[in-house]
């Protein structure tokens, strides 16, 4: 908790560490009401900085110091200084050892940072600055040390004792036992982990490209032992993929994953000992949806890929966080694209970015991919660092091409193996292999905000010339009034009147050859691109594959969008055309509602969707994406001033119209896919997933018709399906329908069946909290009284509070402000327990400037009340200060 105003930490103030820690020897004595941590550090003055001996300043938070010795000389209180965050003392020689013993209370650690208890097991979360809650240390990523760790605990309660690296010794003494682990690779403290618990494991092995055998083990609580196979399969796939695509081989004899129930984020890449939120590792068909299976595949890969992009080559300081996170998200998203449908993966990523990251980039918390300053680094594990950071890497991939990009990544790993480096080092490797000057490109790391492209065109039939004019701009963001032009790759093609790809030559291009798709590279505020030998007036298909994280405006007519939706060879842009068409139609209805004109929905969307459903050349996954409707959150993101209730009404009106118009084909499609599902053994594989997604989409439209036969079919699917994907989509349709008695019955049955499985109960909670039909505030408050709910468990907080505030926008933004009062209450309650969570779930309130003046006032009032609280965590303090600045 804050005692004084937290300080800003600035990138420009970075300095190398005064001292280094060559060896770290830790001993953990774990008990029920406390733990002792003994540290033996072998240290030296940083040889790069000279031979004077400045004071040694160690990080340490909430530690009770019991013993301190330097070079075996016991130190007394007169020899050192301690405050709430640091311990300092004067070394007497350039090389010395430091021994300390601290007492901590893991069982009372509700912040889930440092060493804590999740249920009956001990575990750690050290990134970014949790290690300082374990022992006094130089808790910064550029201090890399070799670790030897001994864990001692009661044998019966904690039969499994784990840490990083290889097990080198173990033994028993009475009722207690111990294990010593040694990590042969030097690492920063944020990658340290220990686990102690009564865990079962599933074991497998992997033979690396050089023939080394690696033991793979996933540890879980005994009741979850049947939920590990998918994560294990995913692990083996991503290990192979990283060898084939990046030439990266695993570097220890054992790779372990541990599932824990209480975890602030998704997972953590601790060296050789990944710790996962159980929701990101455990799955079986009866309890887990397709979405969860896919999420597990990508997160297992993400954490595994960090072994190189993050661990072998790590970050110099936390301003460089995107160096490992952006690159690793890019890597995991390419892996998922290879394992599933590439187009669908790109649609999912773009949708996510445009809904969440664009909103962040447009609000008071906007920050560059490499932020220049922070108070609390935990607040910077954001969509910008992760997802926009991945888009920046993707643009490098596009600009260099796949071969040179691979050479660049090889060079990066080779040059910097074992080092703690910066985003500049990553870009420098890409420059070295390509000969390109990426100085201007690096503005993506320093300038916040989403660039806007305005595109116009002109066709000169006589000279067969086609001109494209692009203007780029970027709105002001906090602390950055004016932006310099970005380097933006715009992938594109041209369509002729028959829908065929037109070939042409791009003037002044590096290679001015005839082709039919191009990457235009923007680097000025205003630019013209001219194509020659263009035989007819083309229709441009722009920003194919979402080649840059920008907003692109081109004045398409609805006919042109319908045409692109039908003919574009780029799957992403077919989907994008459908989105833009839907946005236009919904906006028109918004306008009708606003002016109290009669609501008339343009038929073009229904016609296009009908054509999509009838098109045998489209796979079901893409069909599902195309007819899936822009989310309310995305629609609001596009509006100058977000009008939640009106937009929700308009959106629902258009959905109902579509359901009515397409009732017949949707019903036929639903029946066919449901029958097919009954005949098929469930597997979480791309083709089946596409079918189930389309089936669910069809059912959700049909639900709007309020027909008894459809309700009956939904109930039947809920009761009979053998997999959670179909069961949950049926449950969600019921909950969001007018058939509330059936919905209630299904909810009761579901809760009885799964009361013992917290991960399934998370889904039960969120399907209700996210429902604008059922999820009234009073009901949400009731859910929080349910015995399965606990505010101390982040998954539960996300399932109820998160689902309500992010997916139930009509209720959260209720005109009386009750949703805002509720969220502020929860933020205050959580801040005393878990600052990372309070600072995160407050996000919807931080977007207050986006809404109507009346709502703005209500939201601001809640933010100000929070700011006036007597005790605020550093995390929440920073978010409030920036939000109200």
Q: Which stretch binds ligand ARG (CB under 6 A): 36-44, 161-169, 263-271, 450-458?
A: 263-271
**Least gap, CB of 124 to ligand ARG (angstroms):** 11
C-alpha 299/C-alpha 448 separation (Å) is 27
Residues 322-341 interacting with ligand ARG (rule: CB under 6 A): 325
Nearer to ligand ARG, 124 or 580 (CB): 124
Told to check if 267 binds ligand ARG by CB under 6 A, we report yes
Q: Is 265 in the site for ligand ARG (CB under 6 A)?
A: yes
Q: What mask, x for binding ligand ARG by CB under 6 A, covers residues 209 to 248?
A: ----------------------------------------
Q: Is 303 in the site for ligand ARG (CB under 6 A)?
A: yes
One of 269, 303, 576, 726 is an active-site residue; which one?
303
Give the DSSP letter string of 684-737: --HHHHHHHHHHHHHHHHHHTT--HHHHHHHHHHHHH-SSHHHHHHHHHHHHTS
| Degrees to nearest 5, angle at CA 204 with 202 and 208 | 150
Binding flag, residue 59, ligand ARG (CB under 6 A): no
Query: Does 262 participate in binding ligand ARG (rule CB under 6 A)?
Result: no
Q: What secondary structure letter does DSSP report for 599?
A: P
CB 153, CB 294: distance < 8 Å: no
Residue nearest to Zn ion (CB): 325
The residues with which 465 forms a beta bridge, in sequence order, are: 460
Task: Work out what residue 100 binds among ligand ARG, Zn ion, none; the CB cut-off runs from 5 to 8 Å by kind.
Answer: none
Q: Would residue 303 show up in a list of annotated catalytic residues for this protein?
A: yes
Looking at the Cβ atoms of 34 and 381, the one nearer to ligand ARG is: 381
Residue 468: name its binding partner from ligand ARG, Zn ion, none (Cβ under 5 to 8 Å by kind).
Answer: none
Return d(Cα 263, Cα 285) in angstroms, integer.
23
Beta strand 121-125 pairing with 166-173: unpaired
Which of Zn ion, ligand ARG, none is residue 265 near (CB under 5 to 8 Å by kind)? ligand ARG
200 and 225 Cβ atoms separated by less than 8 Å: yes
Taking CB within 5 to 8 Å according to partner kind, which of Zn ion, ligand ARG, none is near residue 378?
ligand ARG
Q: Which is nearer to Zn ion, 327 or 812 (CB)?
A: 327
Whose Cβ is closer to ligand ARG: residue 276's or residue 820's? 276
CB nearer ligand ARG, residue 25 or residue 324: 324
Is residue 184 within 8 Å of residue 254, measured between CB atoms? no
The answer to whether residues 490 and 591 touch, using CB atoms and an 8 Å cutoff, is no
Given ligand ARG, Zn ion, none, residue 332, with its beta carbon under 5 to 8 Å by kind, binds none
Residue 299 CB, shortest distance to ligand ARG, in Å, is 7
Alpha carbon separation from 847 to 205, 360, 388, 832 (Å, rounded): 47, 8, 19, 23
Out of 381, 413, 459, 789, the residue judged to bind ligand ARG by CB under 6 A: 381
269 binds ligand ARG (CB under 6 A): yes
From the list 99-107, 264-272, 436-444, 785-793, the region that binds ligand ARG by CB under 6 A is 264-272
H, E, C per residue of 429-467 = HHHHHHCCCCCCCCHHHHCCCCCEEEEEEEEECCCCEEE
Q: Which of 109, 180, 378, 723 binds ligand ARG (CB under 6 A)?
A: 378
Size of the site for Zn ion (CB under 5 A): 2
Which of the residues 326 through 355 are near Zn ion (CB under 5 A)? 328
Q: What is the dihedral of CA 671, 677, 679, 684, to 10 degrees?
A: 170
240 vs 249: CA distance, rounded Å: 9
Partner in contact with 333, chosen from ligand ARG, Zn ion, none, beta carbon below 5 to 8 Å by kind: none
Q: Is 850 helix (H, G, I), strand (E, B) or coil?
A: helix
| Residues between 35 and 74 with contacts to Zn ion, criterion CB under 5 A | none
Q: What's the min distance (Å) between Cβ of 302 and Zn ion?
A: 6
Measured CA to CA, the distance from residue 72 to residue 507 in angstroms comes to 74
Which secondary structure element, helix H or strand E, spans residue 205, and what is its range?
A: strand 200-207
391 or 643, CB closer to ligand ARG?
391
Which range binds Zn ion by CB under 5 A, 49-57, 174-182, 323-331, 493-501?
323-331
Rounded least distance, CB 126 to ligand ARG, Å: 9
Closest CA to 544 of 470, 489, 492, 468: 492
Q: Smaller CB distance to ligand ARG: residue 135 or 264? A: 264
Specify the pairing of strand 80-82 against strand 19-30. unpaired
Window 119 to 158, contacts with ligand ARG (CB under 6 A): 125, 127-128
268 binds ligand ARG, rule: CB under 6 A: yes
Which residue is associated with the tokens 């933020």?
A: 827
Query: 699 forms bridges with which residues in the sheet?
Result: none
| Neighbouring-strand partners of residue 256 | 217, 273
- Which of the choices ligand ARG, Zn ion, none does residue 268 contact, using the CB cut-off of 5 to 8 A by kind? ligand ARG
Q: 51 to each of 19, 95, 228, 673, how far by Cα in Å?
A: 11, 11, 53, 74
Answer for the pair 211, 183: CB distance below 8 angstroms, yes or no. Answer: no
- Choices 7-15, 259-267, 457-465, 581-589 (CB under 6 A): range interacting with ligand ARG: 259-267
Chain contacts with Zn ion (rule: CB under 5 A): 325, 328
Report the catalytic residues.
303
Chain contacts with ligand ARG (rule: CB under 6 A): 125, 127-128, 264-265, 267-269, 302-303, 325, 378, 381, 836
């Amino acid at each position: 908790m804050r005692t004084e105003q937290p300080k800003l930490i600035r990138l420009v103030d970075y300095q190398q560490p005064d001292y280094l820690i060559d060896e770290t020897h830790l001993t953990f004595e774990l008990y029920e009401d406390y733990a002792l941590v003994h540290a033996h550090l072998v240290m030296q003055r940083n040889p790069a900085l000279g031979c004077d001996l400045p004071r040694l300043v160690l990080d340490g938070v909430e530690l009770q110091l019991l013993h301190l010795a330097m070079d075996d000389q016991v130190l007394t209180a007169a020899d050192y200084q301690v405050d709430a965050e640091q311990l300092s003392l004067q070394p007497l020689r350039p090389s010395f050892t430091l021994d300390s013993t601290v007492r901590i209370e893991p069982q009372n650690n509700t912040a889930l940072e440092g060493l804590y208890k999740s249920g009956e097991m001990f575990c750690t979360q050290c990134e970014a600055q949790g290690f300082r809650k374990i022992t006094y240390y130089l808790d910064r990523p550029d201090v890399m040390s070799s670790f030897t760790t001994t864990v001692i605990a009661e044998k019966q309660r904690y039969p499994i004792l784990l840490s990083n690296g290889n097990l080198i010794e173990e033994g028993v003494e009475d009722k207690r036992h111990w294990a010593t682990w040694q990590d042969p690779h030097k690492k920063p403290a944020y990658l340290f982990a220990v686990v102690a618990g009564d865990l079962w494991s599933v074991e497998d092995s992997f033979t690396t490209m050089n023939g080394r055998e690696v033991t793979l083990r996933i540890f879980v609580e005994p009741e979850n032992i049947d939920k590990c196979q998918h994560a294990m399969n995913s692990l083996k796939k991503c290990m192979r993929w990283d060898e084939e695509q990046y030439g990266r081989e695993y570097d220890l004899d054992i790779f372990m994953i541990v599932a824990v129930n209480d975890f602030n984020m998704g997972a953590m890449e601790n060296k050789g000992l990944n710790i996962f939120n159980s929701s990101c590792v455990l799955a079986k068909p009866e309890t887990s949806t397709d979405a969860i299976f896919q999420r597990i595949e990508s997160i297992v890969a993400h954490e595994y890929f960090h072994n190189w992009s993050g661990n072998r080559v790590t970050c110099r300081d936390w301003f460089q966080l995107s160096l490992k996170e952006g690159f690793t998200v890019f890597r995991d998203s390419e892996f998922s694209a290879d394992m599933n449908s590439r187009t669908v993966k790109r649609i999912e990523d773009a949708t996510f970015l445009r809904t969440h990251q664009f909103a962040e980039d447009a609000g008071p918390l906007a920050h560059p991919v490499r932020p220049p300053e922070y108070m609390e680094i935990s607040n910077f594990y954001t969509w910008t660092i992760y997802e926009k950071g991945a888009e920046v890497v993707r643009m490098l991939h596009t600009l260099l091409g796949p071969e040179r990009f691979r050479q660049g990544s090889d060079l990066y790993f080779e040059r910097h193996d074992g080092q703690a480096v910066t985003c500049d080092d990553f870009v420098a490797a890409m420059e070295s292999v390509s000969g390109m000057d990426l100085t201007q490109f690096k503005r993506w790391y320093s300038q916040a905000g989403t660039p806007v492209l305005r595109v116009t065109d002109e066709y000169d039939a006589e000279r067969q010339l086609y001109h494209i004019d692009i203007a780029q701009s970027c709105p002001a963001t906090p602390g950055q009034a004016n932006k310099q032009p970005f380097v933006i790759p715009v992938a594109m093609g041209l369509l002729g009147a028959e829908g065929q790809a037109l070939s042409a030559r791009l003037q002044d291009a590096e290679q001015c050859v005839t082709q039919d798709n191009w990457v235009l590279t923007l680097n000025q505020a205003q630019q013209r691109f001219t194509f020659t030998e263009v035989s007819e007036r083309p229709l441009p298909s722009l920003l194919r594959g979402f080649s840059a994280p920008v907003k692109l405006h081109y004045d398409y007519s609805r006919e042109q969008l319908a045409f692109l939706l039908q003919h574009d060879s780029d799957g992403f842009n077919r989907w994008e055309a459908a989105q833009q068409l839907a946005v236009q139609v919904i906006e028109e209805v918004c306008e009708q509602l606003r002016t109290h004109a009669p609501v008339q929905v343009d038929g073009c969307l229904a016609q296009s969707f009908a054509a999509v459903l009838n098109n045998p050349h489209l796979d079901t996954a893409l069909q599902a994406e195309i007819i899936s409707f822009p989310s309310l959150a995305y629609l609001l993101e596009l509006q100058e001033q977000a009008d939640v209730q009106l937009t929700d009404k308009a959106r629902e009106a258009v959905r109902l119209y579509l359901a009515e118009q397409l009732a017949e084909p949707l019903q036929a499609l639903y029946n066919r896919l449901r029958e097919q599902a009954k005949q098929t053994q469930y597997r979480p594989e791309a083709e089946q997933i596409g079918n189930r997604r389309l089936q669910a989409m069809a059912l959700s439209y049909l639900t709007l018709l309020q027909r008894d036969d459809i309700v009956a079919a939904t109930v039947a699917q809920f009761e009979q399906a053998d997999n959670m994907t179909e069961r949950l989509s049926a449950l969600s349709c019921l909950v969001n329908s007018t058939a509330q008695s059936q919905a209630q019955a299904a909810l009761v049955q579901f809760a009885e069946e799964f009361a013992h499985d917290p991960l399934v109960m998370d889904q039960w909670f969120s399907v209700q909290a996210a429902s604008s039909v059922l999820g009234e505030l009073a009901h949400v408050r009731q859910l929080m009284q349910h015995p399965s709910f606990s505010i101390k468990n982040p998954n539960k907080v996300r399932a109820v509070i998160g689902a309500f505030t992010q997916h139930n926008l009509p209720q959260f933004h209720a005109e009386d402000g009750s949703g805002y009062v509720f969220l502020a209450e929860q933020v205050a309650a959580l801040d005393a327990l878990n600052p990372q969570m309070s600072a995160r779930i407050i996000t919807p309130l931080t977007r207050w400037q986006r809404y109507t003046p009346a709502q703005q006032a209500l939201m601001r009032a809640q933010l100000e009340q929070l700011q006036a609280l007597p005790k605020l965590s550093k995390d929440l303090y920073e978010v409030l200060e920036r939000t109200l600045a």
